[in-house]
Amino acid sequence: MKFHRSAWTGAALAAVAAVTLAACSSAAGPTTGGGASNSSADSGAASSTGAGASDGAAASTDKSTDTGTDASPAKGTLTLWHYYTDREADAVQKVVDQFQAANPGITVKITGGQGSQDISKAISTGSDIDVVILGGGSDLGVMCGSGAFQDLGPQIKKDGLDLSQFVDTPLKSSAYNGVQCSLPLLSDVYGLFYNKDLLSAAGFTEPPKTLDELETMALKLTTYNADGSIKTLGFNPMMGFYENQSGPWSAAVGAAWMAGDKSAISTDSAWAKLIEWQKAFVDKVGYSKLKAFTAGLGDEWSGDNAFQTGQVAMMMDGEWRVAFIEDQKPDLHYGTAPFPVAADKADLYGGGLAMSTYVGIAKTAKGTDLAFKLVKYLAADTGALVTLTNEIKNIPTTQASLASPDLKISDQFRTFLDIAKSPHVFTVPQVATGTGPQDTLLNYWEEFQSGAGGDLTAGLKKVDDDIDNALALSAGP
């Protein structure tokens, strides 16, 4: 999962999910939307009254599969949809091959490269989908709130699966409104990537630990062409550049997203301080110069990524970048560190934003016992998680896999394992509008950094109002 890999908004997914909700409401009863929480590790699971199947809304009855007994192995065919592509999809295939080898009576048919909106549409139209690996982190609230994902509670109880084996923050974020509608399957953790050669040439021996240090170092590292345009950028402060999204930045200041079931962006002063600092940083370099420079940079996922080409000396990114560098720029001399934090929040250093990938059972599943067998394998089998971690370079989400001696850990990747273990790991709360709150804030933030956002206090109040109105609409009459 990458924070903004999807090209559609939370509102678009919520609209699709509404179709799913309408399609299943006659069978499962009406549901309402909108769990919410602050963005701390203790509040990953939404707690307010809202959508999601109840414990009694168990899965559909098995039809075309035989889950087997002690004397007769499970057999049948499962369909797995996921969002991975290319090298990452190959890693999923490897793990599924291992599952099929251990369960010779089960065949798994895979459809990859499917975003949350694609999956939601397919489920709403009754497509043959049993198990889903969901990226995007904050889309889980939409999928669970609409009933597209089944409640795993009955299967967890029947199987005796011990949930304490999972890392706390990913486990909490895999539930919605108290319903365990998915299990965590790897996490993304955000930190700082820095070019050691560029920092050394500028006289720096260590990466920055505070936002003020980040700005000071970035300005010194920035070089200009004869015409005044940017040649090399120390750090790109522009919101919307690569992983410069509102979610990851919230962890740098410990900003709250929700207060109960209401948006807290205008009431938590940490947001205004962060946005004012970022705007001042942009102004010191020059908005027009930054905009022109950013427009000429390579695609984030290609070998022309600006950090990999040396055009940007430092950037915010997730642990997956380690694998991309190994594949696309193996000779790059770089380091990783926790992302800098506000000077008055120094205790947060060492933590960061964590966003999970989830695996769940679609409401269209033909047989939930058989589907749960695959879900459990993907989410809880140490060997499977270690394989995925080594291949994809995401963070494992069980205690056993996180401590496995079979992990292939570089110094750069170890940073993110350490961040994942920090007590100061943050997550973005699951709400019925998915990424809607982050999208709404980001849209205003991009406007504000350009100088067109008007009064910040009024602007953030409108952001809150827009988020709250969208949540209210998602809950229905």
pLDDT one-digit tens code per residue, 387-444:
999 999 999 999 999 999 999 999 999 999 999 999 999 999 989 898 899 999 999 9
CATH architecture under which domain 10-188+353-426 falls: 3-Layer(aba) Sandwich (3.40)
Q: Which residues contact 106 (CB under 8 A, 6 or more apart)?
A: 74, 75, 76, 77, 78, 99, 100, 370, 373, 374
Tell me which residue has tokens 């999807």.
Answer: 6
Q: What is the mean pLDDT of the chain?
A: 87
The pLDDT, as a whole number, for residue 24 is 41
Strands 106-111 and 76-81 come out as parallel
Q: Cβ neighbours of residue 153 under 8 Å, at least 6 residues apart?
A: 55, 58, 179, 180
User: Which three-class secondary structure state does DSSP give residue 283?
Assistant: helix
Q: Which helix (H) or strand (E) holds 390?
A: helix 382-392
Q: What is the pLDDT at residue 34?
A: 32
The mean per-residue pLDDT over the stretch 348-375 comes to: 96
For the chain, percent of residues with pLDDT exceeding 90: 79
In the chain, what percentage of residues exceed pLDDT 70? 84
**Unique residue bearing structure tokens 């170890």:** 414
Average confidence (pLDDT) over 96-125: 95
- Please check the confidence at residue 61 and state whether its pLDDT lies above 80: no
Per the document, the length of the chain is 477
pLDDT in tens, 115-152: 888 999 999 999 999 999 998 666 899 899 999 999 99
pLDDT exceeds cutoff 80 at 207: yes
Strand partners, 395: 187
Return d(Cα 418, Cα 280) in angstroms, integer.
31
Q: Which amino acid is at 244?
A: N
Count of Cβ atoms closer than 10 Å to residue 282 Cβ: 21
Q: Is the sign of the CA dihedral 341, 347, 350, 354 positive or negative?
A: negative
Multiple choice CATH, 190-261+268-350+435-475, 3.40.190.10, 1.10.510.10, 3.40.50.2000, 3.30.420.40: 3.40.190.10
**Regarding predicted confidence, which is higher, 53 or 156?**
156
pLDDT higher than 60, residue 57: no
Can you give the residue ranges of every domain in the chain?
10-188+353-426, 190-261+268-350+435-475
**What is the tens place of the pLDDT at every residue in 251-305?**
999 999 999 999 999 999 999 999 999 999 999 999 999 999 999 999 999 999 9
pLDDT of residue 56: 33
pTM: 0.83
Question: What residue type is 461 in one-letter code?
Answer: K
- Return the residue matching tokens 């994942």: 420
pLDDT band at 477 (very low <50, low <70, confident <90, very high): low
pLDDT band at 476 (very low <50, low <70, confident <90, very high): low
The predicted pLDDT at position 45 comes to 33
DSSP E strand stretches across 5-88: 76-81
* pLDDT range class, residue 94, cuts 50, 70, 90: very high
- Which pLDDT value is given to residue 51? 31
The pLDDT tens digits of the residues spanning 146-181 come to: 999 999 999 999 999 999 999 999 999 999 999 999
In whole angstroms, what separates CA 449 from the centre of its chain? Answer: 24
- Do 10-188+353-426 and 190-261+268-350+435-475 have matching folds? yes
Q: Strand pairing partners for 106?
A: 76
Residues paired with 335 in a beta bridge = 194
Non-local CB neighbours of 19 within 8 Å, separated by 6+ positions: 121, 124
Angle between helices 436-449 and 10-28 (to 10 degrees): 170
What percent helix, strand, coil does the chain show, rounded to 5?
Answer: 45, 15, 40
Q: What is the mean pLDDT of residues 74-98?
A: 96
Q: Is the pLDDT of residue 86 over 90?
A: yes
